[in-house]
A and B are shown apart, each in its own frame.
Chain A
Amino acid sequence: MLSVRDVEKSFGGIRAVNGCSLEVERQSIVGIMGPNGAGKTTLFNIISGFEQPDRGAIVFKGENIEAKNSFEIARMGLIRTFQLTKVLSRMTVEENLLLAPKYQQGERIWNVWLRAREVRREEESNRARAHSLLRLFGLLPLKEEYAGALSGGQKRLLELARALMAEPDMLLLDEPFSGVNPTLGNKLLNHIKELRDRFNMTILIIEHDMHVIMRLCDYIYVLNRGRVIASGTPEEVQNDERVLDAYLGGGQYI
């Protein structure tokens, strides 16, 4: 589904990503771990087109995407979330979701008049879908609230619901559990599992928490200083000395 090949990216003197390669199989959940500053978010930014890599290639659904604009990559079905949640604060929860569907007729200025009826119909069906997603995430009672008024955990859920509203083939989730309380976190974890099991989605997820990663992922890549230092199934990685070094030796505790 996705393959990242020898990607490099520097900021000034800092090599944020330094020759990184990984593969994500269709319908798998793949985790990326690593201490702070390892280059995980930068790698996500590169995959999703928010940053241009200095070198390397990225192939998604058989197509090279490293030179594409981020909105084009999103249209191909690769949707990301952000480490620091990005909700549209002064828009309602419902509006946040309604923004997401791709190729909406009503998003073309002329269609607002020329195809008013189709636009209305499309809007109705999108709204119905938005409501069922909001119900799934327990956000339906909040649909008229400004998204900015939600709690940190609710914003995470909203961001995930919004990403799903775009009907992605693959999701990139950047620390979706940070700032989420344990109860909500458990629900979120089950939701993510369900996405793969029931909706055949492919997921690449950045996560610090070893327990979460263990329960969720089929395969794990461990990054340190912009390089993949270990990869394998959760069991393999758990017992890898280099991983323990990177976390404990580097003075970083998970």
Chain B
Amino acid sequence: MMIEYLITILLIASIYAIFALGLNLEWGFTGLVNFGHVAFLAIGAYTTVLLSLHGVPLFVSVLVGVALAGAFGALLGIPTLKLREDYLAIVTIGFAEIIRLFLLNEEWLTGGPMGVCGYPRPFEDIITGDYNLFMLSVVLSILILCYFMLEKLIKSPWGRVLKSIREDEDVPVSLGKNVFVYKIQSLVLGSMLAGLAGSLLAFYLQYINPRNFMPIETFYAWIAVVLGGSGNNKGTVLGAVILFCFFSATRFTQEYVPLHPTQMGALRIMLIGLLLILFMMYRPEGLFGKKEELML
């Protein structure tokens, strides 16, 4: 029982870690402000399950979901990333709401508020033991793969250009870098990671509906990134793990506190807020961030 619970927590945390790594690439390394990251999670999830329900092979459905999330990233980036930086922030907020309302209202496609269920999961009929354990191993492998891919990219000359954009984009521009292209690439790659996390989330949940993709999900990713230290992949992963351990800890205590579940939910958000405030006071650089950097 306890071990199953642990597996579940780790599974969700790993999925959200992939989701948050995408945001860390955008914000932590490139300085792009994306307040609608959840939209790409939703696009990945819905595309994957709807395609697989229509007979498209699972693996292909996931790939299309990831690609579509990336394509929407480009679609949002192209008109906004040449403008002042706050435009992306505003447009992504709006986009996330549009996607959620679309999922809610286009019942013929998305099942509306009822959502979608009964879609296939990878290797469902072959796995005889604990499916979540199998899934955890898959998700962890993907997470590790994503992590090392990002680390390699960040340490490459490509990553150096991203970081220079974060610091002051006038500098790379004055040295002949086409910063617009790099920003688009960062946004597309970040959105693809969110799309991938969305597919995995759908497999874990077995039933998805628009309530899984509320704006708060975007802020969970932000919390993971900030907790870990912006611009640090290790920190982001750990941030996601801490966040979800904290969630489940409060779920455990549910039995012992005389609060209604919705009150408990509100209390949880309050505690997270408190945790963030304490972090900003005593460790503003995050878990793995470098203190010296904040002084500069």
Given A90-B293, A107-B157, A146-B293 in contact, is the A102-B168 Cβ separation under 8 Å?
no
The residues in B between 149 and 177 inclusive whose CB is less than 8 angstroms from any CB of A are 152-153, 156-158, 160-161, 163-164, 167-168, 170-177
Q: Is A106 close to B, CB under 8 A?
A: yes
Q: Which of B156, B171, B293 contacts A106 (CB 8 A)?
A: B156
B158 partner residues in chain A, CB cutoff 8 A: 106-109, 112
Q: Would you call A107 and B177 a contact (CB within 8 A)?
A: yes
Q: Which of A69, A86, A100 contacts B170 (CB 8 A)?
A: A86
Q: Would you call B296 and A89 a contact (CB within 8 A)?
A: yes
B145 nearest CB across to chain A (Å): 13
Q: Is B185 close to A, CB under 8 A?
A: yes
How many contacting A-B pairs (Cβ < 8 A)?
A: 93
A147 nearest CB across to chain B (Å): 8
Q: Would you call B157 and A104 a contact (CB within 8 A)?
A: yes
State the CA gap A95–B157 with chains docked (Å). 9
Q: Would you call B157 and A71 a contact (CB within 8 A)?
A: no
Q: Is A91 close to B, CB under 8 A?
A: yes
Interface size on A, residues (CB 8 A): 38
Q: Would you call A71 and B170 a contact (CB within 8 A)?
A: no
Task: Give A106's nearest chain B residue, CB to CB.
Answer: B157
Flag B207-230 by CB within 8 Å of A: 1 or 0 each. 000000000000000000000000
The residues in B between 183 and 212 inclusive whose CB is less than 8 angstroms from any CB of A are 185
B229 nearest CB across to chain A (Å): 12
State the CA gap A166–B171 with chains docked (Å). 12
A7 nearest CB across to chain B (Å): 19
Q: Is B179 close to A, CB under 8 A?
A: yes
B235 nearest CB across to chain A (Å): 15
B293 partner residues in chain A, CB cutoff 8 A: 90, 146
Q: Would you call A74 and B168 a contact (CB within 8 A)?
A: no
Given A90-B167, A90-B293 in contact, is the A79-B157 Cβ separation under 8 Å?
no
Q: Is B292 close to A, CB under 8 A?
A: yes
Q: Which of B163, B170, B185, B296 contacts A50 (CB 8 A)?
A: B170
Q: Is A88 close to B, CB under 8 A?
A: yes
Q: Is B141 close to A, CB under 8 A?
A: no
The residues in A between 67 and 105 inclusive whose CB is less than 8 angstroms from any CB of B are 69-72, 74-75, 79-82, 86-91, 95, 98-100, 102, 104-105
Closest 10 CB pairs of A and B: A148-B296, A106-B157, A74-B176, A89-B296, A75-B176, A88-B167, A112-B156, A107-B157, A90-B293, A104-B157
Offer 8 A-B interface pairs, CB within 8 angstroms, sorted by A: A71-B177, A74-B173, A75-B176, A82-B174, A90-B167, A98-B160, A107-B177, A109-B158
- Having A99-B164, A107-B161, A119-B157, one finds 19 other A-B pairs with CB under 8 Å, namely A50-B170, A71-B177, A74-B176, A86-B170, A88-B168, A89-B296, A90-B167, A90-B296, A91-B167, A95-B163, A104-B157, A106-B157, A106-B158, A107-B157, A107-B158, A107-B160, A108-B158, A112-B156, A112-B158
